Structure 1
Amino acid sequence: MAIEIICTELGKSYIGDGVTTNALQNINLTFSKGEFTAIIGPSGSGKSTLLSLIGTLDKPTTGKIQYDGEEIMNKSKNKIADFRFEEVGFIFQQFHLLPTLTALENVLTPLFAQKVAYKKHRRGEEVLEQVGLADKMNSLPSQLSGGQQQRVAIARAIVHKPNWLFADEPTGNLDTETGERIFELLRQLNKDKECGVIFVTHNPKLAAKADRMITMKDGGVISDQPGESK
């Protein structure tokens, strides 16, 4: 159970047409389990790149990422995949629900390839109840509103009981009122389960409600300060 993430001199570069682009550079941050952190900044500032690196979806060009002092990205692909399943849940702006599967079946997809001790079907029902969709378990994505689809995506992200929840613009495709409800749901999950939440957003009003607000620009951190909840 990882309770701390440490990023040290983290950098990410891309090379195209002989030109090197520094998406991230010299990132030094520590995240604590149980904390709700918002990362904000303009498009191209490096927010999503940072989230992908912290969540082990991509590897840094320079620097290192440690979970409780252990450098995860030095492990094999299989070990990293196992670690990701045990520790991390992802929520994206695009819901990425499979259109031919019901809400419950979509939620259960992360568990199909894993050997888990608890009953998979019941666990899926539990998390859908938790996000307020007990009456939509057998609905297809096309039968759900945008906000309901995002809640299914959230349920899928927490079905394996992760210690860290990473949300990349999860309210970006939703209207303001629905986006605020999704934010409050993530906030409640953070409080109830004591999982660390790192939330990328363009919305400064939502970011200010977090425990901590990190502002990025041009691939670097320009401020790191407490949110309104602190």
Structure 2
Amino acid sequence: MTHQIKCKSISKVFYGDGVRTFAVDGVDLTFEEGEFVSIVGTSGSGKSTFLSLLGALDSPTSGEIIYGNESIHKRNRKQLSDFRFENIGFIFQQFHLLPTLTALENVMAPLFARKVSYDKRKRAEELLTQMGLEDKFHSLPSQLSGGQQQRVAIARAMVHEPSWLLADEPTGNLDTETGEIIFDLISTLNKEKSCGVIFVTHDPALAKRAERQIEMKDGKVTHDQRSIIYV
């Protein structure tokens, strides 16, 4: 099965006080398997809404998103949940770690209700070690720095080895140095695990280091180009 994602004229419209607002407006894009893509734009440009549509967290008002050869949003709720589990890993700006669970348990959390072919604990330990957190297995989120919490969140997103890693401002709450570490980790995962990466950022310098850069404004794609040099 191909892991290509194709967006066909997708729009997301919100209604309020008699006003119709296009958060995403007629976007046509194709993401190839294994790509490293940045999406940049000012606040309110539609980039985070677009990411939620790509990850099947929300449905477009019109148009369709085709994953492989099948429209994602024609599936029922359970099928969408299974689709996300099998194919998509999410990283958020706010980390969203469960405060009463240890780092190890947070990484294992997506697997708790799932039957998998591998040892869940061993997979989580391997990922945390890869993130440089081998001494933090039993630490609660409150005992970790922001950068460490984000690394736990990345490990959680990667625990089932998704085809695509979707990151919404993953360095937004971090200082520059820590943000650089997080970006390098995501870039390494893209190369070593062959997972596609689509990350939303407000930082043009980071965006330019992706293999492909997309700019959005007022819900529309205004620029789409590939880097000559991909770092």
Global fold match (TM > 0.5): yes
CA distance in 2, matches of 1:2, 1:97: 31
Normalised to the residue count of structure 1, the TM-score between the two structures is 0.98
Say whether the 8 Å CA contact 1:6–1:69 is kept in structure 2: no
Aligned to 1:219: 219
Partner residue, 1:62: 62
Tell me by how many angstroms 1:163 deviates.
0.6
Q: What residue number does 1:53 align with?
A: 53
Q: Does the 8 A contact of 1:189 with 1:195 survive in 2?
A: yes
Say if 1:51 and 1:166, in contact at 8 Å, map to a contact too: yes
Structural mapping, 1:16-165, within 5 Å? 16-165=16-165
Q: Percent identity?
A: 63
Amino acid at match of 1:94: Q
CA distance in 1, matches of 2:35, 2:122: 28
Partner secondary structure for residue 99 of structure 1:
coil
CA distance in 1, matches of 2:90, 2:160: 11
CA distance in 1, matches of 2:152, 2:6: 30
Which whole-Å CA distance do the structure 1 matches of 2:204 and 2:162 have between them? 27
Mapped contact 1:47–1:200 kept (Cα < 8 A): yes
Superposed CA offset, 1:182-230 (max 9, x none): 0010000000010000000000000000000000000000000113534
| Unmatched 5+ stretches in structure 2 | none
Residue pair 1:2, 1:163 contacting (<8 A) in 2 also: no
**Dislocated runs of 4+, deviation >3 Å:** none
How high is the TM-score relative to the length of structure 2? 0.97
Counterpart contact for 1:41–1:215, Cα < 8 Å: yes
Question: Which stretches in structure 1 are left out of the alignment for 5+ residues?
Answer: none
Alignment partners' CA distance in 2, 1:166 and 1:229: 22
Residue type of the alignment partner of 2:108 = L
Q: Could you say which residue in structure 2 is the equivalent of 1:186? A: 186
- Kindly state the Cα deviation for residue 143 of structure 1 after the two structures are TM-superposed: 1.1
CA–CA distance in structure 2, aligned partners of residues 132 and 42 of structure 1: 33
Which amino acid is the alignment partner of residue 20 of structure 1? Answer: R
Instruction: Indicate the SS of the match to 1:104.
Output: helix
- CA offsets 1:111-139 (integer angstroms, 9 cap, x no match): 00111111111111011111111111111
Question: Partners of 2:18 and 2:222 in 1: how far apart?
Answer: 29
Partner of 1:176: 176
One-letter amino acid of the structure 2 residue matched with residue 87 of structure 1: N
How many Å apart are 1:2 and its aligned residue?
A: 4.1
Task: Quote the offset at 1:51 in angstroms.
Answer: 0.3
Q: In structure 1, how many angstroms separate the alpha carbons of the residues matched to 2:207 and 2:92?
A: 17
Question: 1:141 Cα deviation (Å)?
Answer: 0.8
1:213–1:227 contact (8 Å) kept in structure 2: yes
* Count of residue pairs the alignment pairs up: 230
Contact in 2 for aligned 1:99/1:142 (Cα 8 Å): yes
AA of the residue aligned to 2:115: K
What is the one-letter code of the residue matched to 1:198?
A: I
Q: Cα distance, 1:174 vs. partner?
A: 0.2
